[in-house]
Amino acid sequence: MPVKPEIAACFDELKSMRQHLHSCPEIGLETVRTVAFVKEQLDRYGIGYEDIGVNSLLAKVEGRGPGKTVAFRADMDALETTEETGLPYQSATKGRMHACGHDGHTATMLAFARYLADHRDLDGTVLLLFQSGEEGFGGALEVVKDGLFDKYRIDCMFGMHNWPGYAENQIVVHHGTAMASEDRFDLVIRGRSGHASVPHACVEPFAAVADFIKGAQSVIARRISAHDKAVISITQVHGGSAYNIIPDEVVVRGNVRTTCAAVQDRIEESLGQLAAGLEAIYGVTATFAYHRKHPPLVNSMPELAVAAATRVVGRENVLTEELPAMGSEDYAFFMQNTKGCFVWIGNGVDSPVIHNSKYDFNDQVILTGASLFAELLEEVMK
């Protein structure tokens, strides 16, 4: 079965909604106007909702009787990027842009909501989560902390993300890990400052920094199996104020990605040992902090997603052998609390990559995504 005809019939309206959302992006947890817009549409559809987390919204569709509780998620926040598309509906706010397609994800969920409003003949409950703060602001964790999984016994949960580089009729389903973890670290090296002409009278921190950076690059090669995926990147080095002064302090910051929780453990341990060793070698003080921001996103129900996707785009367009992305997704926190699956839907082979100032969401994905959600619901409720 292709795209749901009831959803396709509303395409012009859905496209208009998406382009409206694109023109008024909001950052992080500050999705106030976006939530107000979503509430207006849900009121039109006769679907109830409640506030949850920080400026997130949970809509609820009750079926005809008791049964499973199935949840779906769409993110709503934009990025701090100045848009350069020149589109008639481009961002009206300089420095803010829907460069990741969350405007389209929100419109996709609204399309699914409209479909559900006319198809309540099911046993069970459907929850639609419109989430703020996916782009590094902890929006999913705020929803979890606010009791989503305490208030509702969610049997399974599904999400999607548009994906440039794949055709708009292709859906990617990963068996196991779909997205990497994201960890961040801070290393503060403290020495003793002084004149650059007398380094022997100082405790110079930069040599320790250089060894840490070099050592960090050897962790994956020497401490991590070649069969595992991992990335360590040094992203910031701050220190010094003049050509002729050895500084007291240098700060090093970095980013770690991996697709396996055990590898996270090994990398954290290895970087911590590396930092501790600097003290003995260079006589500096090394303060190391490691923060796990997102866990790996692991799918536990890929077969169900494959079956549903096959009915929407055909089995030949359902890709199941693609490598996980090394980018992270806070949807991973939901998968730590229930079963489910997170899929990619092609945004077009020639689409600019996400987080690019010339990116735009492909409105055809609204039809594919909403139809996929409808088919997933039918698959779960069998």
The CATH code of the domain that includes 248 is 3.30.70.360
pTM as predicted: 0.94
Residue at which a domain ends, from 294, 323, 343: 294
Answer yes or no: do 323 and 214 share one domain: no
Residue 49, pLDDT score: 98
**21 and 51 share a domain?**
yes
Cα separation values, 158 from 16, 143, 149, 286, Å: 25, 15, 14, 43
Q: Residue 68: helix, strand or coil by DSSP?
A: strand
CATH number (domain holding residue 64): 3.40.630.10
166 plus 31 within the same structural domain: yes
Burial (CB < 10 A; 0-12, 13-18, 19+), residue 191, is: buried
Beta strand 285-294 with 182-190 is: antiparallel
Domain final position from 294, 316, 346: 294
pLDDT of residue 1: 54
pLDDT band at 374 (very low <50, low <70, confident <90, very high): very high
Is pLDDT at 125 greater than 90 in this prediction? yes
- DSSP letters, 106-170, are HHHHHHHHHHHHT---SEEEEEEEEE--TTTS-HHHHHHHTTHHHH---SEEEEEEEETTS-TT-
Strand-pairing partners, residue 234, are 254
Q: What is the pLDDT of residue 382?
A: 81
d(CA 359, CA 244): 45
Task: Tell whether 274 and 205 lie within a shared domain.
Answer: yes
Whether residues 186 and 281 fall in one domain: yes
pLDDT at 79 over 90: yes
| pLDDT cut 70: percent of the chain above it | 100
pLDDT tens digits for 192-239? 999 999 999 999 999 999 999 999 999 999 999 999 999 999 999 999
The candidate with the shortest Cα–Cα distance to 336, out of 294, 291, 302, is 294
Same domain, 186 and 229: yes
Strand 230-239 to 56-62 pairing: unpaired
Q: How confident is the model at residue 2, as a pLDDT?
A: 87
317-358 pLDDT, tens digit per residue, is: 999 999 999 999 999 999 999 999 999 999 999 999 999 999
Query: Residue 278: which domain range?
Result: 182-294
Residues 255 and 314 in one domain: no
Evaluate if residue 315 carries a pLDDT over 60. Answer: yes
The runs of H, that is alpha helices, within the chain are: 5-8, 11-23, 32-45, 102-117, 139-145, 148-151, 206-223, 261-282, 302-313, 332-335, 364-380
Query: How confident is the model over 236-271, as pLDDT tens digits?
Result: 999 999 999 999 999 999 999 999 999 999 999 999
Number of domains in the chain: 2
C-alpha 29/C-alpha 45 separation (Å) is 25
The mean pLDDT value for 97-114 works out to 98
> Which of 294, 309, 333 is the last residue in one of the domains?
294
Both 167 and 36 in one domain: the answer is yes
What pLDDT sits at residue 283?
95
Residues 53 and 130 in one domain: yes
**Residue where the block lists tokens 């609820």:** 60
Q: In terms of domains, do 31 and 125 share one?
A: yes
Residues 83 and 98 occupy one common structural domain? yes
Nearest to 259 by CA among 178, 160, 158: 178
pLDDT, average across residues 19-43: 98
Is the same domain home to 313 and 289? Answer: no
